[in-house]
Amino acid sequence: MATEGALPVLRMAVAFGRLLRRAGLAAGPDRVVGFATALEELDVGSRGDVYWAGRATLCSRPEDFEMYDRAFKVFWEGREGLKVPNPPGSTFSIRLSPDSVQPPKKSAEESEEGSEAVRLRYSPVDVLRRKDFADCTPEEFAELYRLMADMRLSGAMKRSRRLEPAHRGRHDQRRTLRGAMRTGGEPMRHRYRKARDRPRRVVLLCDVSGSMASYSRALLRFMHAGVASGEPVEAFVMGTRLTRVTRELATRNPDRALREASKAIEDWSGGTRLGDTVKEFVDVWGQRGMARGAVVVLLSDGWDRGDVEVLADAMRRIHRLAHSVIWVNPLKAAPGYQPLARGMAAALPYVDVFLSGHNFESLQELSYAVAGATGRGGAR
Amino acid sequence: MSEAVNGRRGALPPGVSLSGELKERLREGSYLAGEGLATAIFLALKLQKPLFLEGEAGVGKTEVAKVLSRMLDTPLIRLQCYEGIDVNQAVYEWDYARQLLHIRTAEALGAAGEDRSRLEDELYTRRFLVNRPLLQAIEHQGENPPVLLIDEVDRADDEFEAFLLEILSDYSVTIPEIGTVRAARPPVAILTSNRTREVHDALKRRCLYFFIDHPDMEREVEIVRLRVPEAEERLTRQVARAVQRLRGMDLYKPPGVAETLDWTEALVALGAKELDEALIEATMGSVLKYHEDQQRVLVQSLNLLAGA
């Protein structure tokens, strides 16, 4: 095999790259060329060499490995035919695809009552802003999404270590000396610089389990608006397990972003093991630094069928790491709401700000809270 | 002839032309690399591409750079990244205090008046330039290129990342007052990240990528043997097994290889021949760095760990 020369190697690399791209890996042409170059230096006949060269050149994060391994098996070992490249969970993408947003059952009843429809005619936007997501029709969602696109999600400011010129602060030797050259080496005017402020990282964790079904689509849209606004925002969804969707939501086109994200989410509207997924976040991401000094926002109804101690423990750790913890619970808007869900009750002591997030207006409130307008200790 | 051969060889040490041979050389340098890591390092040296290493804290990312510098017999230049790091701290800075002093001296000697521009030229010369790690690596004069370790890239901010991208693509730096400095041969660049955030794709694309995982039992035993040879065989195996179990125990911070080595060294220092409850309790602080983790392990029975 090694005697086939350079051209077959390149051709093989290109074909393999194409397979990987279909499987969802970002194996662009430059990576493929890198792979081919690497193969020339190694023994193409050796499975190990080819495998490791590919992993070093075509993958860029541990999440890629699983798909890479599968594709590798198919391509280089000819196993399982060629049907694997469809990522698992692609069936879900149809359900989440934004143009197929299902009108929740309740909305049909309400439009029959008529009162909602009449009020809508007078001041649609105003009513819409306060309307519960669970009661919105697809048309209303479409309008809401347009409103959301303008939202900014920017964390409370923190002092950066980066310095910028300022009127007072630390002495800026570089610029002072430059100025001194003009006055014969006499530093007449002293220059200063001070630390710049920059927004804290915002981490959004959205519950997509069954009990949140009426809200999670709208909230996911909201997350997209946050990630796409270009501020440091990280997004995760929590189902039976934790999935990071920052990358998928980062494109400007909301429909595409949601389609991408839905591919990544394998357990859309699955069961709830809130504690385990929050814990997974702290273990895998939070403690390593993502939650440190960040504004952490959990969007969930606090419904947890697992051990609530796990959730309480994870929340305690987040609270210690983060700048502030905001919990958004769509159920909170219901009159006479009490945090009775066991998970919610367990988590509440570690929450700084508790908001509702059931309609557009409350999401706006959330964006103020994230920016620090409400501040720490505003919990109720 | 040697020059031409050199070009093809990249930065590989003499006598190494297969990744298996490199693995052996790393081992001689007290670093036990798996097939995957050896291949990645081999390619990085041969193709002269930067190597991007990710993995948990304490799995030996930084160690790769150290062993390479020993193996290639070339200095290790380290740039530790942190939030807010900028060009002045990473590449070069002017020595302002000395520059001012120079002006004063010139003034005292009465030279400042007429040829001010000459004075200005003098100020921005090599004499007053402070080389920081990246410039040091690029300017390095020697038979072999240096090993440049850019540690914890994920801690720096995006602006710096963009700048790194530039440096890593052509290994040259332009200092406006002096000119462009280009590396004779690209340094062996090793970048590490703890994944506190995702480093930009463009930067990763420039590099070869490898994710270092925790080693399995047998490899860990070998690592301990290699690094703490004075530990008794029985103790070595016990420690390795205990650490493997700890990693499966759902801790806040599962121990890495660095902790395994620390622990073994601590035990050896106490003259231990084998693990027992008292020793574990006394030395626990070198493996588990969270109070909660220590509690959890204590509760889950010490006997189990001792592995009777």
CB pairs under 8 A between A and B: 120
Nearby residues of A187 by Cβ (< 8 Å), 6 or more positions away: A176, A177, A179, A180, B100
Å between B298 CA and nearest CA of chain A:
18
Point out the domain boundary residue: B179, B194, B212: B212
For testing the chain B interface, which of A39, A46, A57, A69 should be mutated: the one with the most B CBs within 10 Å?
Answer: A57
Domain extent at residue B299: 217-306
Query: Is A251 at the interface with chain B, CB within 8 A?
Result: no
Residue A312, pLDDT score: 92
Across residues B229-245, what is the average pLDDT? 93
Across residues A84-97, what is the average pLDDT? 34
Q: What percent of chain A has pLDDT over 90?
A: 14
For testing the chain B interface, which of A30, A43, A59, A60 should be mutated: the one with the most B CBs within 10 Å?
Answer: A60
Same domain, A137 and A14: no
Residue A85 inside a domain? The answer is no
Across residues A88-105, what is the average pLDDT? 34
CATH code of the domain in which B18 resides: 3.40.50.300
**What residues 2-31 of chain A have any CB closer than 8 A to a CB of chain B?**
26, 28, 30-31
Q: What percent of chain B has pLDDT over 70?
A: 93
Cα→Cα distances A132→A102, A104, A144, A205, Å = 15, 11, 11, 20
Q: Are A60 and A26 in contact (CB under 8 A)?
A: yes
Same domain, B228 and B164: no
Same domain, A278 and A230: yes
Same domain, B70 and B192: yes
Amino acid present at A349: P
Nearby residues of A3 by Cβ (< 8 Å), 6 or more positions away: none
CA gap A230, B74 in Å, rounded: 42
Residue A179 inside a domain? The answer is yes
**Closest Cβ–Cβ partner in B40, B120, B159 for A56:** B40
Query: Is B36 at the interface with chain A, CB within 8 A?
Result: yes
Same domain, A358 and A210: yes
CATH code of the domain in which A253 resides: 3.40.50.410
Cα-based torsion angle of the residue sequence B35, B41, B42, B43 in order, rounded to the nearest 10 degrees = 110
Across residues B243-259, what is the average pLDDT? 89
**What residues 190-219 of chain A have any CB closer than 8 A to a CB of chain B?**
195, 201
Same domain, A136 and A184: no
Point out the domain boundary residue: B162, B193, B212: B212
Residue A90 inside a domain? The answer is no
| CA B169, B173, B174, B180 torsion-angle sign | negative
Across residues A328-332, what is the average pLDDT? 88
Residue B134 inside a domain? The answer is no
Residue B153 inside a domain? The answer is yes
Residue A89 inside a domain? The answer is no
Residue A84, pLDDT score: 38
Nearby residues of A347 by Cβ (< 8 Å), 6 or more positions away: A298, A302, A311, A312, A315, A327
Across residues A111-140, what is the average pLDDT? 60
Total domains in chain A come to: 4
Same domain, B207 and B222: no
**Closest Cβ–Cβ partner in B19, B107, B194 for A42:** B19
Q: Which of B20, B22, B72 is nearest to B187 (CA)?
A: B72
Q: Is the pLDDT of residue A334 over 90?
A: no
Å between B36 CA and nearest CA of chain A:
5
Q: Are A339 and A356 in contact (CB under 8 A)?
A: no
Point out the domain boundary residue: B212, B233, B258: B212
**Pairing of the two strands B51-55 and B208-212:** parallel
Residue A117, pLDDT score: 38
Choice between B294 and A134, residue whose per-residue pLDDT is larger: B294
Q: Is the pLDDT of residue A183 over 90?
A: no
Query: Is A49 at the interface with chain B, CB within 8 A?
Result: yes
Same domain, A128 and A263: no
Q: Is the pLDDT of residue A326 over 90?
A: yes
Q: Which of A24, A28, A34, A15 is nearest to A68 (CA)?
A: A24
Point out the domain boundary residue: A180, A198, A216: A198
* Bridge partner list, B181: B173
CA gap B285, B263 in Å, rounded: 8
For chain B, the average pLDDT equals 87
Point out the domain boundary residue: A77, A93, A114: A77
**What residues 188-217 of chain B have any CB closer than 8 A to a CB of chain A?**
194-198, 201, 204-205, 208-211
CA gap B303, B308 in Å, rounded: 7
pLDDT tens, residue by residue, B257-302: 999 999 999 999 999 998 888 888 889 999 998 888 888 888 776 5
Query: Is B103 at the interface with chain A, CB within 8 A?
Result: yes
Residue B304, pLDDT score: 62
Residue A98, pLDDT score: 36
Same domain, A209 and A323: yes
Q: Is the pLDDT of residue B166 over 90?
A: no
Same domain, B265 and B300: yes
Residue B132 inside a domain? The answer is no
CB contact under 8 A, B94 and A174: yes
Choice between B110 and B156, residue whose per-residue pLDDT is larger: B156
Same domain, A325 and A364: yes
Q: Is the pLDDT of residue A94 over 50?
A: no
Which residues in chain B have their CB less than 8 angstroms from residue A53's CB?
Answer: 39, 43
Same domain, B79 and B20: yes
Same domain, B158 and B251: no
CB contact under 8 A, B36 and A57: no
Residue B237, pLDDT score: 94
Count of Cβ atoms closer than 10 Å to residue A143 Cβ: 16
Q: Is the pLDDT of residue B116 over 90?
A: no
Q: Which of A233, A218, A375 is nearest to A299 (CA)?
A: A218
Total domains in chain B come to: 3
Residue A187 — pLDDT band, cuts 50, 70, 90?
Answer: confident
Across residues B80-96, what is the average pLDDT? 88
Same domain, B35 and B167: yes
For chain A, the average pLDDT equals 77
Count of Cβ atoms closer than 10 Å to residue B131 Cβ: 15
**Could you write out the three-class secondary structure of chain B?**
CHHHHHHHHCCCCCCCCCHHHHHHHHHHCCCCCCHHHHHHHHHHHHHCCCEEEEECCCCCHHHHHHHHHHHCCCCEEEEECCCCCCHHHHCEEECHHHHHHHHHHHHHCCCCCCCHHHHHHHHCCHHHEEECHHHHHHHCCCCCCCEEEEECHHHCCHHHHHHHHHHHHHCEEEECCCEEEECCCCCEEEEEECCCCCCCHHHHHCCEEEEECCCCHHHHHHHHHHHCCCCCHHHHHHHHHHHHHHHCCCCCCCCCHHHHHHHHHHHHHCCCCCCCHHHHHHHHHHCCCCHHHHHHHHHCCHHHHHCC
Same domain, B61 and B151: yes
Domain extent at residue A67: 2-77
pLDDT tens, residue by residue, A57-69: 999 888 888 889 9
Same domain, B185 and B204: yes
